[in-house]
Structure 1
Amino acid sequence: MSVVNVSLQVIPVVAEERIYPVVDKVIEYIQASGVKYEVGPMETTMEGELDKLLDIVKMAQEICVEQGAARVVSIVKIDYKAEGVTMNEKTYKYRK
């Protein structure tokens, strides 16, 4: 399967002061997964095989619940094309 991009925004339903610590746990998991990723102010974008990235999305929900979220709202975006798509091809001209 080709390389795809998946963007994930998790919104854990926890007390406001707990939002960032819970999201940090999800980002730590993404880091440990070994996939290429970039953290943005509203979402984290990952690059890799679709099945692996979707497994990460599923685990992100579980991590939020394990961290005390009563509910998790997630927004997922997938950019797929048969020949593959990379984050670099979309953003290289904007990098300093």
Structure 2
Amino acid sequence: MNHTVHIAIQIVPITDKPHYAIIDKAIEVIDRSGVSYKVGAMETVMQGDYDTLMRVAKEAQQACLEAGADEVAVTLKVHGRKHGNVSWDEKGIDRGR
């Protein structure tokens, strides 16, 4: 995919430790990456080029493991186009970060 896409990521830590602190580590990775993103109640949606976003998704998963998760269950959703970019504006979504 050569255009801007949206990738939604949901990471569910499997551990007996508090989940939110672990999930926050994933969001920190996304924030530091510099990609545009929006945190929702059930997933975080990122906007950018496919390869960059997949790299960030991998790093976010690793951050959760390093923060104490024994395992992670991850759901990814990709919205891409053959011709043209996917954008926050067309969906009526505030840009987020």
TM over 0.5: yes
Shift of 1:74: 0.4
RMSD in angstroms over aligned alpha carbons? 1.4
Cα drift, residue 91 of structure 1: 2.1
Question: May I ask how many residue pairs the two structures share in their alignment?
Answer: 92
- Please give the TM-score of this superposition, normalised by the length of structure 2: 0.88
The structure where helix makes up a greater share of residues is 1
Match of 1:56? 56
For 1:31 and 1:10, locate their aligned partners in 2 and report how far apart those are by CA, in whole Å. 15
Q: Deviations over 1:58-90 (max 9, x none)?
A: 112211110111110000000000311012211
Report the Cα distance in structure 2 between the residues aligned to 1:18 and 1:75, rounded to whole angstroms: 20
Q: State the AA in 2 paired with 1:5.
A: H
- Give runs of ≥4 in structure 1 deviating > 2 Å: none
Cα separation, 2, equivalents of 1:92 and 1:21: 26
Counterpart Cα distance in 2 of 1:92 and 1:59: 25
Structure 1, unaligned runs of 5 or more: none
Are positions 1:87 and 2:88 aligned together?
A: yes
Amino acid at match of 1:35: V
Residues 1-96 of structure 1 mapped to structure 2, 5 A cutoff: 1-15=2-16, 18-82=18-82, 83-92=84-93
Instruction: Compute the TM-score of the two structures, normalised by the length of structure 1.
Output: 0.89
Q: Which amino acid aligns with 1:20?
A: Y
SS at 1:60's partner residue?
A: helix
Measure, in 1, the Cα distance between the counterparts of 2:75 and 2:32.
Answer: 21
Identical-pair percentage? 37
